[in-house]
Amino acid sequence: MAGLADFRETVGIVTGASSGIGAQLARDLAARGMRVALLARRAERLEAVATDIRRAGGEAAVEVCDVAEGSSVERAVKAVLDRWGRVDLLVNNAGYGRHVLFKDHDVADIERMMRTNYLGTVYATKAVLPDMRGRGRGWIVNVSSVAGKLGQPDEAAYSASKFAVAGLSEGLSYELAPLGIHVMTVYPALVRTEMFTPAVLARMPERSMSFVEPAVLSRDVLHALARGRHEVTVPRWVAIAYVLRVLLPRFHRRMTARIRLPVLRDLTT
Ligand SMILES: NC(=O)c1ccc[n+]([C@@H]2O[C@H](COP(=O)([O-])OP(=O)(O)OC[C@H]3O[C@@H](n4cnc5c(N)ncnc54)[C@H](OP(=O)(O)O)[C@@H]3O)[C@@H](O)[C@H]2O)c1
């Protein structure tokens, strides 16, 4: 399957386009000529991104949508198909994290996180598939996380939701390839977005904090998409940890425990 590099006459959907990574990807896709539908819950934030895109000469549509609700996603995707008649690219990016020890994490929020991060990806993928299958062409980009490759303390439920996205995405990459649909999984490490509130930053040891900007993430994602890659970790060097985990598991455990140890002192209280 060829990569996607020529965005002229194409239509894309970006979920979670009201801020951070999704907003940046939407702007960059629109700047390359793609008509982009922006999905998220906050209408005014989506309108602000759409206005930026239009001012820059691009085309954008806003669909307010809660990805945790299947009917909401179906309605939004149908609106895009009614408007533009096709979907070439779906970016499943909507999601949220929670830095909290598992013992303190509300089960209702764990369920909501799974519905948003994992089932949101399922709902949107299901909704675009008939169109992509009908045309024998499409690209699906699923935003997991390095926490979806390497389980993280203080984010166990978030890690689980991102492992779920990664598993779905990898499985689909094989299953959908014969249908002409390319699936790529994105594994960001730390990207400077609203996800990192002062409260979240206060829980993280400074040593682990090496952020990339959303523009860098977006550039690397579009580069990988153009080359037809099936996965991309940003920054790339972080992927060394995946190898260490397999080849030197005890060393990997010691490093992870050491980096995160300050957070774990809460466990004794
Ligand atoms: N930043 C990082 O370091 C990092 C690292 C690894 C993975 N990621 C992943 O990257 C994705 C984007 O996160 P971000 O860092 O850009 O954070 P962000 O700025 O907080 O953006 C999250 C986006 O997801 C949307 N969203 C959340 N819940 C939603 C729902 N139920 N329905 C529809 N949209 C929803 C938000 O929009 P509304 O609130 O308007 O609905 C927002 O547009 C997430 O999946 C996150 O897990 C981020």
58 membership: H or E segment, kind and range = none
Q: Which of 96, 118, 123, 158 is the catalytic position? A: 158
How many CB atoms lie under 10 A from the CB of residue 246?
A: 8
pLDDT attached to residue 264 = 65
157 membership: H or E segment, kind and range = helix 156-176
- Ordered by start, the domain boundaries in the chain are 11-238
Q: How large is the average pLDDT for residues 14-26?
A: 98
Ligand 1 site-directed mutation target among 193, 194, 203, 204, most atoms within 8 Å of CB: 193
Q: How large is the average pLDDT for residues 234-241?
A: 95
Asked whether residue 148 carries a pLDDT value surpassing 90, the answer given is: yes
CA distance 220 to 235: 9
Q: Which CATH architecture has domain 11-238?
A: 3-Layer(aba) Sandwich (3.40)
Residues in the chain: 269
Where are the extended beta strands (E) located within the chain? 11-15, 35-40, 59-64, 89-92, 138-143, 181-188, 231-234
Measuring from atom 27 of ligand 1, which residue has the nearest CA? 95
Whether ligand 1 lies within 6 angstroms of the CB of 116 is answered as: yes
pLDDT attached to residue 34 = 98
CA distance 140 to 64: 20
CA distance 66 to 74: 10
Q: Specify whether 174 is catalytic.
A: no
The pTM assigned to this predicted structure is 0.96
